[in-house]
Homo-oligomer: A and B are copies of this chain.
């Protein structure tokens, strides 16, 4: 690994080591889908069981109907959640985690755990970045 162009090699040889170029494509696809602002939150919130549209809206403060509907539809299309509509007089629609979504859910939980453990560190760093003009930032 230490030849003349050692530094370049690090990037080019063992390169992308665990992330082969052909995997890059669907990693991006999956990350684009589940890694957006709301998908993970919806998946996290669905862990206790099926929820109705309004319940989701209540439990995820700040989401708009537009985004709720949109994200639910995407997750449904991807097979991560299921949608069950009951043709009753007061219309009732329940969303639940599909088996596929349950696997992702565990990872989301870890992410949330990580967020819980480190959010104050992040906040500290973020604050310092704003108040520390000493470094290389204009």
**Which residue numbers of A lie inside 8 Å of B, CB to CB?**
1-2, 4-12, 14-19, 21, 23-24, 26-37, 40-41, 44-45, 47-49, 51-52, 55, 58-62, 76-80, 83, 85, 100, 103-104, 106-107, 109-119, 121-126, 128-130, 136
Interchain CB contact under 8 A, B77 and A100: no
Least Cβ distance of A33 to chain B in Å? 8
Least Cβ distance of A117 to chain B in Å? 5
- Count the copies: 2
Interface of A, helix, strand, loop or mixed by DSSP: helix
Least Cβ distance of A69 to chain B in Å? 11
Least Cβ distance of A99 to chain B in Å? 9
Interchain CB contact under 8 A, B110 and A103: no
In the bound assembly, the distance between CA atoms of A47 and B17 in angstroms comes to 9
Interchain CB contact under 8 A, B40 and A35: yes
Residues of B within 8 A of A32 (CB): 37
Residues of B within 8 A of A5 (CB): 109-110, 112-113
Partner of A16, one of B45, B76, B100, B124: B45
